[in-house]
Amino acid sequence: MQKFNRPGLFLTYMGTENFKTVFYTLKVKGMHELGVVFRIIDDLTEVGKENDIHKIHSVTLQLGEVSGVVPSFLTDAWKWAAAKTELMKDSELIIENLPAVTYCEDCKKEYSTVEHGKICPYCGSEHTYLLKGNEFLIKEIAAT
């Protein structure tokens, strides 16, 4: 296993005889779905050049429940944009949904953000903050 580091991302490369898996983490904020897809494709093209990758078969994303990205729009944008690149043509986009969780500073409990919002359902406090659920991470790239 090899690890590659570039500013803004972390890569882990595990090679087998005919198959490579690259774990790639990128935080993306403030972009619409098509812009997100273009950013991913640009970065994966660079990763492909740096790691002698010729074909990306699938990309696994972890998408937070309150990330602001609509999974169906992202999938549609991916199909359209990936088809225009030789490296990612016919690649599969896999989306793993991550639940949004909020933490209450007063009662020290966690709860579902989407279900209850900012007000803690246990103690009624507004002293809460989002623990997770706004992520947009590229978890894995399957490539040859």
47-98 pLDDT, tens digit per residue, is 899 989 999 999 999 999 999 899 999 999 999 999 999 999 999 999 999 9
Model pLDDT, residue 33: 87
The domain spanning residue 21 has which CATH number? 3.30.2320.50
Alpha-carbon distance values, 36 to 52, 69, 103, 124 (Å)? 24, 9, 28, 37
Does residue 17 fall inside a structural domain? yes
Domain, as residue range, for 11:
2-100+132-143
Give which of 54, 50, 43 is closest to 89, Cα–Cα: 54
Q: Is 58 left (phi over 0), alpha (psi -120 to 50) or beta?
A: beta
Number of domains in the chain: 1
State yes or no: 116 annotated in a binding site. no
Does residue 83 fall inside a structural domain? yes
Does residue 6 fall inside a structural domain? yes
Does residue 118 fall inside a structural domain? no
State yes or no: 127 annotated in a binding site. no
Does residue 49 fall inside a structural domain? yes
Does residue 127 fall inside a structural domain? no
Model pLDDT, residue 19: 44
| pLDDT beyond 80 at 7 | no
Does residue 119 fall inside a structural domain? no
State yes or no: 104 annotated in a binding site. yes
Bridge partners (DSSP) of residue 25 are 10
Average pLDDT along the chain: 83
CB 76 within 8 A of CB 143: no
Question: How much of the chain exceeds pLDDT 90, in percent?
Answer: 65
Cα-based angle 120, 69, 124 (whole degrees, multiple of 5): 5
Does residue 10 fall inside a structural domain? yes
